[in-house]
Amino acid sequence: MGQKGEETRRRLLDTTRDLIETGGYFGAGLNQVIAASGAPRGSLYFHFPGGKDQLVGESVRRAGREVGAELAELAENAPDALGLVTAALRFLGDRLEESGWRKGCPVATVALEMAAVNDPLHEACSEVYRAWETALRDRLAADGHPEPADTAVAALALVEGALLLARAHRSREPLDRVARRIAALL
């Protein structure tokens, strides 16, 4: 695939990510993706012959890798797991607030709407969450935490819940409160 094809594919994925993050799976219709991306209809089907589910699944995975890369960078600069989670909450909170409280977790909305009824999207969401969980678990283990796997799941669940509440309340307060609880947990 040439550079123009790669650019079109990237634009379709970026547009889909924005639409699903702000409006969920059902807020990202193919006509909306085409209109917002400026890509020709034929390009969508060329790059994503599996249709909307393939497009959304790849978008979720791509968003997961991007957030994962940001978390890896934060981990490099964090003195310990607590520093990593605190920095991640700050990063995610900044992102959420800067978007006008529209962009929380790039995976959560699709997971809530579709994971129970759509196996390919369930797999995409699960894959992303497992990668984030593994990164946190590995950091906790490296820090000598006695229960890294359970604590990683608890911390991730607290972060996800805090993002949901922060979005609902349009306030960083839930993120700040969760940061204090995670500090006590770790």
Q: What is the per-residue pLDDT across 90-137, written as a single tens digit (0 to 9) for each? A: 999 999 999 999 998 889 999 999 988 999 999 999 999 999 999 999
Q: What is the per-residue pLDDT across 37-63, written as a single tens digit (0 to 9) for each? A: 999 989 999 999 999 999 999 999 999
User: In CATH, what is the architecture of 52-185?
Assistant: Orthogonal Bundle (1.10)
Contact 82, 182 (CB under 8 A): yes
Q: Which residues lie closer than 8 Å to 86 by C-beta, 6 or more apart?
A: 78, 179, 182, 183
Q: What is the per-residue pLDDT across 66-102, written as a single tens digit (0 to 9) for each? A: 999 998 899 889 999 999 999 999 999 999 999 999 9
Contact 96, 74 (CB under 8 A): no
Full-model pTM: 0.91
> Does pLDDT of 1 surpass 70?
no
Question: What is the pLDDT averaged over residues 20-41?
Answer: 92
